[in-house]
């Protein structure tokens, strides 16, 4: 039902994992035959166990509100009092959180005073960019194990079944509670969040319910009070919402470089600019103040490149922001030093995450000053920072290109081929790593000398070879020492984007590895051709073709595949349809000729259940071809075109639908049976407005298809989804010939895993 675990941290008494399915099952185990009694017993148990922290997966938006609702419905009036404040009722309220970084999301918030809630789903969504955030896929990603999802619609059946089905349900519930805890332990989420709360001085709950601003504000308050500053309650400045110019991205010299490309980076560029020039609210001065205080240019204050904004020097008054930044960066330095010493790969990942978090926190100080919708926007600071940054990257380019020349005794003229914000990629013209690194070191030191402390240009890595596709898009083999490369680094291209299908990601990744690591261009071409051929012959697993996109708005102006699908799913089953902020998974199915993509998107599970054919040519033309051409064109030139034509594209296998009526229905839905006009808005009417006057026979036909479909769909839970053989247990097929018989194996393993869990906690059933 619940798992309780003591934490190493002496301040946390225990951590409590919640899964609201559990009480339902517990009716058997605990002999509370009345659900109301059971809920009350659960509440009493929580009070007795007195947890400091309650964790779970999606507890904030599902389990807690569900329990409260259920108790209200059953009139268990004493239930909502499991917080630590006696007499304070636990209540659920709706909130809406909207941020550019985290997206817009409708949330429920439950107050359980005195107990921390830590929803691992929210943690995962904030800290990790994943394609899917189901417990299943997150665990597969981080723990290498998964549970089969139990569709909510069969939970009641499992419960009302027999001891065996209830046992199965109980195991699911236990795993549901156990996996979030494993996840939390392995990623050290709780510890990292506690540290973040300590560093920034915000209440723990803010870390999951609020954004970056509150953290900066909080640090600002801390520093301000030390120096007897009072922060104005709210600055109501008009015209603060005008945009300001950001960073420079140097025009790339696109192409494939089979020579070492040296990368030079400013470390923490924006924070170091703010520190170097003492930029802060407390150091900004205007003409009147300069006159009143008799300040002198250069010796007392500096003029920045943004509209001649003026700031006093640190000797006159040290700014609050620069000292906050110093704290954050020294903490990061320590994390990085620890990282160097640590050998355990997982702790390394954690330390790496921590230093990244501190870096993000430091960077968001600049973002905070530029947040026009925020509490203390100050364009003088943010725009000065970016203006300095632009000057610096330009100057760096000039310095490198003017010093490393044949005229100055070097073997070649250096050329900056690309740069973004705080980095420059330099082609020194040498053909080996040792020289490229030596020159990089020399250049970094040379350029650093041209700037104020603590601004520092660092040599970190060499790319060799390097494929520069466009601004913010490149790939290269990453070297930090000349003996062995570190990794294949890709930026911006399909391998790191989540809005492509896995097929594209894998093909591009493999081709890049073949080209950049194995130096086998013809092998890469052959591989790409093979995949294209497989795709057109339907040999690619559907899981490779699933595309996911975030549903980020509630009102869209243009039609899109994932938005239309979410709407259709809501009509089928409002309970399991994606909601605002969720990622919608879809595949593109065959439809009428010329139909738009948004008419051909479909839920992968639905497609699997109904054996709907996939539009493979869409995947070739709209998903694979352009990314492939982009990486092969710089290498092969015009010959790259041959990838997309030739014998391998000729063999096209047309799958014939195996379940006629079903198939027809599924494919026909998006268009009118009468005139083939796509049905856009009222797809549930099945016939378009144009045809409506003469429904008659056509409508009847459609209705019977609908009926047939619904009957068969309802039976799917007792039939195998592929071969229609009868299922003796849940979704396990009885026929070994069935193409999805492996599901049985998976499920068996699942039971074994869960049994091990049971044993560990000495549960008896």
Partner DNA sequence: GTTTCGACCTAG
Partner DNA sequence: TCAGCTAGGTCGAAAC
Region of 35-43, 75-83, 95-103, 115-123 interacting with DNA (CB under 7 A): 95-103
Q: Among residues 165, 552, 685, 755, which is the contact residue for DNA, using CB under 7 A?
A: 552
Q: Are 90 and 110 in contact (CB under 8 A)?
A: yes
Candidates 372, 391, 537, 755; binder of DNA (CB under 7 A) is 372
Q: Which of residues 16-75 bind DNA (CB under 7 A)?
A: none
**Sequential DSSP letters for 697-755:** HHHHHHHHHHHHHHHHHHHGGGB-TTT-PBEEETTEES-TTSTTTHHHHHHHHHHHHHH
User: Per CB under 7 A, does 101 bind DNA?
Assistant: yes
Which residue number, 28 or 394, has a Cβ lying nearer to DNA? 394
With CA atoms as reference, report the closest residue to 370 among 270, 479, 500, 277.
Answer: 270
- Residues numbered 607-666 forming contacts with DNA, rule: CB under 7 A: 622-623, 626-627, 630
Q: Which of 86, 129, 593, 654 binds DNA (CB under 7 A)?
A: 129
**Residues numbered 379-408 forming contacts with DNA, rule: CB under 7 A:** 382, 386
Q: How many residues contact DNA, by CB under 7 A? A: 76
Site for DNA in 465-494 (CB under 7 A): 469-473, 490-492
Complex with DNA: residue 169 or 644, whichever CB lies closer? 644
371 interacts with DNA by CB under 7 A = yes
Q: In the complex, what is the shortest distance from the CB of residue 429 to DNA, in angstroms, rounded to a whole number? A: 22
What are all long-range contacts of 737-745, with beta carbons under 8 Å and residues at least 24 apart?
743/148
In the three-class reduction of DSSP (H, G, I as helix; E, B as strand; rest coil), residue 547 is classed as: strand
Ranges within 192-231 binding DNA (CB under 7 A): 210-214
Q: CB under 8 Å to 736, separation ≥6 — which residues?
A: none
Q: Where are the alpha helices (DSSP H) in 517-594?
A: 521-536, 561-572
By CB under 7 A, which span of 46-54, 92-100, 143-151, 302-310 interacts with DNA? 92-100
Q: 123 or 269, CB closer to DNA? A: 269
Q: Quick one: 243 exposed, middle or buried, by C-beta within 10 A (0-12, 13-18, 19+)?
A: exposed
Candidates 63-71, 317-325, 445-453, 558-566; binding stretch for DNA (CB under 7 A): 558-566
Instruction: Tell which one of 63, 420, 435, 750 touches DNA (CB under 7 A).
Output: 420
The window from 55-63, 366-374, 437-445, 654-662 that contacts DNA (CB under 7 A) reads 366-374
Cα–Cα distance, 504 to 540 (Å, whole number): 12
Q: Which window, 320-328, 415-423, 528-536, 641-649, contacts DNA (CB under 7 A)?
A: 415-423
* Near DNA by CB under 7 A: residue from 126, 411, 519, 553: 553
Integer Cα distance of 551 and 123 in angstroms:
19
Q: Of 244 and 410, which has the nearer Cβ to DNA?
A: 244
In the block, residue with structure tokens 């003591």: 6
CB of 129 to DNA, least distance (A): 5
Does 234 sit near DNA (CB under 7 A)? yes
Report DSSP letters for 341-386, one per residue. Answer: H---HHHHHHHHHHHHHHHHHHHHHHHHHT-TTSSS--HHHHHHHH
Residue 562 as a binder of DNA (CB under 7 A): the answer is yes
Give the shortest CB-210-to-DNA separation in angstroms.
3
d(CA 243, CA 383) in angstroms, rounded, equals 9
Q: Check: CB of residue 112 under 8 Å from CB of residue 89.
A: no
Compare residues 37 and 617 and give the one whose CB is closer to DNA: 617
Residue range at the interface with DNA (CB under 7 A); choices 94-102, 106-114, 658-666, 755-763 = 94-102
- Out of 19, 110, 262, 364, point to the residue binding DNA (CB under 7 A): 364
Q: Tell me if 128 contacts DNA by CB under 7 A.
A: no
Report the C-alpha gap between 24 and 532 in whole angstroms: 49
Q: How many angstroms separate the CA atoms of 285 and 221, rounded?
A: 21
Q: Specify burial of residue 315 (Cβ count, 10 A radius: 0-12, 13-18, 19+).
A: exposed
Q: Shortest approach of DNA to residue 462 CB, angstroms?
A: 15
Are the CB atoms for 493 and 300 separated by under 8 Å?
A: no
Nearer to DNA among residue 121 and residue 312 (C-beta): 121
Helix 21-29, helix 163-187: angle, nearest 10: 130
Under the binding rule (CB under 7 A), the answer on residue 166 touching DNA is: no
User: Which region holds residue 519: left if phi is over 0, alpha if psi is between -120 and 50, else beta?
Assistant: left
How far is residue 665's CA from residue 647's CA, in Å, rounded to a whole number?
34
Among 167, 168, 354, 549, binds DNA (CB under 7 A): 549
Of the ranges 408-416, 543-551, 608-616, 682-690, which one interacts with DNA (CB under 7 A)?
Answer: 543-551
The tokens for 656 are 């014939």
Tell me which of 422, 435, 615, 730 binds DNA, using CB under 7 A: 422
What distance in Å separates the CA atoms of residue 28 and residue 20, rounded to the nearest whole number?
15
Contact present, 51 and 16 (Cβ < 8 Å)? yes
122 binds DNA (CB under 7 A): no
- Residue partners of 152: CB distance under 8 A and separation at least 6: 575, 576
Applying CB under 7 A, which part among 172-180, 497-505, 517-525, 698-706 lies near DNA?
A: 497-505
Task: Spell out, one character per residue from 241 to 260, where the chain touches DNA: x when CB under 7 A holds, - when not.
Answer: --xxxxxxx-----------
Taking the least distance from each CB to DNA, the nearer of 20 and 500 is: 500
Site for DNA in 265-324 (CB under 7 A): 269
Of these, 87, 230, 233, 759, which contacts DNA (CB under 7 A)?
A: 233
The piece of 133-141, 407-415, 555-563, 746-754 that touches DNA (CB under 7 A) is 555-563
Instruction: Provide DSSP, 171-204.
Output: HHHHHHHHHHHHHHHHHTHHHHHHHHHHHHT--T
Looking at 96-104, 318-326, 518-526, 736-744, which segment touches DNA (CB under 7 A)?
96-104
Smallest separation (angstroms) from DNA to the CB of 222: 14
- Candidates 36, 255, 367, 454; binder of DNA (CB under 7 A) is 367
Identify whether the C-beta of residue 582 lies closer than 8 Å to the C-beta of residue 562.
Answer: no
What is the rounded CA–CA span in Å between residue 14 and residue 410?
A: 65
- Out of 444, 528, 563, 644, point to the residue binding DNA (CB under 7 A): 563
Closest CA relative to residue 683, chosen from 660, 706, 714, 709:
706
Closest contact distance (angstroms) between CB of 635 and DNA is 15
Q: Which is nearer to DNA, 382 or 448 (CB)?
A: 382
Span from 112-120, 295-303, 414-422, 480-488 in contact with DNA (CB under 7 A): 414-422
Nearest distance in Å: CB 259, DNA: 19
**Contact partners, residue 412, CB within 8 Å, separation at least 6:** 406, 428, 429, 430
For the CB of residue 33, give the shortest distance to DNA in the complex, in Å.
45
Question: What backbone torsions phi and psi does residue 475 show, to the nearest 5 degrees?
Answer: -145, 150
Q: Which residues pair with 257 in a beta bridge?
A: 466
Q: Taking the alpha carbons of 372, 374, 378, 381 in that order, is the dihedral positive or negative?
A: negative
Which residue number, 548 or 721, has a Cβ lying nearer to DNA? 548
- Residue 498 or 513: which CB sits closer to DNA? 498
Task: Rule CB under 7 A: say whether 683 interacts with DNA.
Answer: no
653: tokens are 């296998």
Q: Output 553 or 746, the one with its CB closest to DNA.
A: 553
The residue (of 110 and 181) whose beta carbon lies closer to DNA is: 110
Q: Give the nearer residue to DNA in terms of CB position, either 247 or 295.
A: 247
Among 51, 65, 271, 374, binds DNA (CB under 7 A): 374
8 A C-beta contact, residue 130 and residue 141? yes
Site for DNA in 564-603 (CB under 7 A): 583, 596-598
The secondary structure of 9-33 as a DSSP string is STT---EEE--THHHHHHHHHS---
């Amino acid at each position: 039902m619940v798992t309780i675990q003591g934490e190493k941290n002496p301040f946390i008494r225990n951590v409590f994992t919640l899964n609201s399915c559990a009480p339902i099952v517990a009716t058997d185990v605990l002999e509370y035959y009345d659900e109301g009694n059971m809920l009350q017993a659960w509440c009493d148990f929580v009070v007795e166990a007195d947890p400091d922290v309650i964790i779970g997966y999606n507890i904030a938006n599902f389990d807690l509100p569900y329990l409260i609702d259920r108790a209200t419905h059953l009139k268990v009036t004493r239930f909502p009092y499991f917080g630590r404040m006696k007499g304070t009722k636990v209540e659920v309220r709706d909130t809406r959180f909207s941020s550019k970084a985290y997206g817009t999301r409708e949330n429920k918030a439950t107050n359980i005073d005195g107990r921390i809630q830590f929803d691992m789903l929210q943690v995962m969504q904030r800290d990790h960019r994943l394609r899917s955030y189901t417990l299943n896929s997150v665990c597969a990603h981080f723990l290498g194990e998964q549970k089969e999802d139990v569709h909510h619609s069969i939970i009641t059946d499992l419960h009302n079944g027999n001891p065996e089905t209830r046992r199965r349900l109980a195991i699911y519930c236990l795993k549901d509670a156990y996996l979030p805890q494993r996840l939390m332990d392995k990623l050290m989420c709780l510890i990292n969040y506690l540290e973040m709360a300590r560093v920034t001085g915000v209440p723990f709950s803010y870390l999951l319910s609020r954004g970056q601003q509150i953290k900066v504000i909080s640090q600002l308050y801390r520093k301000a009070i030390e120096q007897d500053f009072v922060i104005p309650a709210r600055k109501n400045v008009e015209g603060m919402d005008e945009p300001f110019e950001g960073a420079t991205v140097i025009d790339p010299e696109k192409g494939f470089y089979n020579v070492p490309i040296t990368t030079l980076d400013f470390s923490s560029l924006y924070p170091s600019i703010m520190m170097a020039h003492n930029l802060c609210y407390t150091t900004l001065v205007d003409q009147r103040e300069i006159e009143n205080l008799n300040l002198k240019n250069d010796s007392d204050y500096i003029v920045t490149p943004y509209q001649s904004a003026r700031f006093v020097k640190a000797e006159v008054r040290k700014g609050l922001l620069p000292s906050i930044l110093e704290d954050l960066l020294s903490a990061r330095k320590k994390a990085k030093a620890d990282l160097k010493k640590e050998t355990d790969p997982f702790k390394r990942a954690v330390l790496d995450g921590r230093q990244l978090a501190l870096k993000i926190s430091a960077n968001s100080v600049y973002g905070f000053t530029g947040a026009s919708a925020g509490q203390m926007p100050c364009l003088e600071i943010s725009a000065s920072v970016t203006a300095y940054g632009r000057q610096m990257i330009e100057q760096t380019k000039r310095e490198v290109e003017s010093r490393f020349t044949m005229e100055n005794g070097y073997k070649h003229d250096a050329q900056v081929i690309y740069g973004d914000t705080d980095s420059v990629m330099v082609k020194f013209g040498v053909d080996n790593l040792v020289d490229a690194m030596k020159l990089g070191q020399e250049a970094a030191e040379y350029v650093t000398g041209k700037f104020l402390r603590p601004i520092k240009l660092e040599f970190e890595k060499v790319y060799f070879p390097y494929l520069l596709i466009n601004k913010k898009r490149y790939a290269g083999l990453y070297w930090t020492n000349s003996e062995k490369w570190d990794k294949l680094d890709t930026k911006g291209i399909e391998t790191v984007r989540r809005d492509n299908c896995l097929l594209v990601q894998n093909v591009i990744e493999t081709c890049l590895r073949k080209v950049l690591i194995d130096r086998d261009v013809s092998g890469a071409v052959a591989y790409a051709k093979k995949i294209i051929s497989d795709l057109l012959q339907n040999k690619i697993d559907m899981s490779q073709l699933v595309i996911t996109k975030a549903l980020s708005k509630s009102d869209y102006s243009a039609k899109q595949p994932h938005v239309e699908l979410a709407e259709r799913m809501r009509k089928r089953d409002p309970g399991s349809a994606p909601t605002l902020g969720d990622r919608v998974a879809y595949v593109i199915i065959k439809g009428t000729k010329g139909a738009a993509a948004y008419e051909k998107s479909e839920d992968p599970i639905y497609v699997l259940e109904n054996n709907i054919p996939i539009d493979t040519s869409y995947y070739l033309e709209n998903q694979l071809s352009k990314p492939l051409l982009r990486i092969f064109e710089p290498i092969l030139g015009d010959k790259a075109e041959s990838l997309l034509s030739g014998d391998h594209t000729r063999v096209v296998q047309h799958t014939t639908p195996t379940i006629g009526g079903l198939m027809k229905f599924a494919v026909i839905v998006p268009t009118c049976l009468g005139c083939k006009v796509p049905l856009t808005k009222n797809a549930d009417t099945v016939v378009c407005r144009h045809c409506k006057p003469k429904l008659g026979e056509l409508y009847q036909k459609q209705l019977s298809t609908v009926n047939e479909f619904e009957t068969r769909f309802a039976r799917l839970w007792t039939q195998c989804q592929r071969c229609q053989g009868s299922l003796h247990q849940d979704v396990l097929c009885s026929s070994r010939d069935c193409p999805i018989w492996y599901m049985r194996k998976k499920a068996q393993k699942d039971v074994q895993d869960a049994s091990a869990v049971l044993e560990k906690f000495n549960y008896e059933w």
